[in-house]
Amino acid sequence: MSRGAAFRPTGRIGLGAWIVFGALTVLVTVQAGRALGPDATFLSWSVGHRPQAARITARGLTATGTGVVPYALALLAGLVAGRTARHRLRAVGLCVACLAVGQALRYGVMELVHRARPPHADWATHATGYSFPSGHSTTSAIAAGLLIIAVTLRAPRGSASLRVVIACWGASVGLTRIYLGVHWFTDVVGGWLFAMGWLGVCLWSVARWLPEPFIAGPARRFPEGQTEKHAPEDPGR
């Protein structure tokens, strides 16, 4: 897969995500952190639908959105993305850096906006800090995005099911934050938008500065004694 084909659509999506995230951040700030739109509706539904088994499952899933798991997925993304041992080492460093810097930037936005969380009486798990954008949602979305991009680079035509599973994990972590009552719906949406925008920045930088062989697809193999220059043309490719 070529550099442009791999990253151009992602860059456009990232730019759009930044624009929408900026608008949402302004709206949250202007409203002084109060519940917006569907926030109260989602919280009310969550509080009224929490059987014990569902709470336990949600707590287990939400725990995967922070700590070791996202960094393990970022590391795995680097290993999958690199073509050689040297490329893999560099890719691992880039993926982990993308996640770490993204978390730091998200934390800075959170401190600037300082939106209060939903009422403590509605919580079904522990939480700290301000509310917008959701940290678990941002972290899991960045990790999932990195792994999806890596899988797409290496197997663009045969990994649809795997990409769906990864995306569902990232989305589910964010939804558990709403279900457990520690974030408003717009906090989670803000986290997803922030993650998309940041991934767009990182991928644009990779496409802009890294050499083509680093992100190109697997090298084509030709019969012994035949080079790419002398390979027969295939109009269907």
Domains of the chain: 7-31+49-209 (1.20.144)
Note the pLDDT of residue 220.
44
φ/ψ region of 114 (left if φ > 0, alpha if ψ in -120 to 50, else beta) reads left
What angle separates helix 68-81 from helix 85-113, to the nearest 10 degrees?
A: 140
What gap in Å lies between CA 160 and CA 138, rounded to an integer? 23
Instruction: Give the integer Cα–Cα distance in Å for 181 and 63.
Output: 15
Per-residue b/e over 158-173, b at no fewer than 16 CB within 10 Å? ebeeebeebeebbbbb
Determine the pLDDT at residue 207: 74
237 vs 235: CA distance, rounded Å: 6
One pLDDT digit (tens) per residue for the chain, 237 residues: 455 555 566 667 888 999 999 999 999 999 988 999 899 999 999 999 999 999 999 999 999 999 999 999 999 999 998 888 888 899 999 999 999 999 999 999 999 999 999 999 999 999 999 999 999 999 999 999 999 999 988 877 778 899 999 999 999 999 999 999 999 999 999 999 999 999 999 988 877 766 555 554 444 444 444 444 444 444 444
Question: What is the rounded CA–CA span in Å between residue 71 and residue 99?
Answer: 7
Q: What does the radius of gyration of the chain's CA atoms come to, in whole angstroms?
A: 20
Distance in angstroms (rounded) separating the CA atoms of residues 91 and 15: 23
Q: Which DSSP category does 66 fall into?
A: S
Burial of 122 (0-12, 13-18, 19+ CB in 10 A): middle
Q: Which of 62, 218, 190 is nearest to 131 (CA)?
A: 190
Distance CA 195, CA 38 (A): 21
Separation of CA 42 from chain center: 22
pTM summary value: 0.86
d(CA 184, CA 177): 8
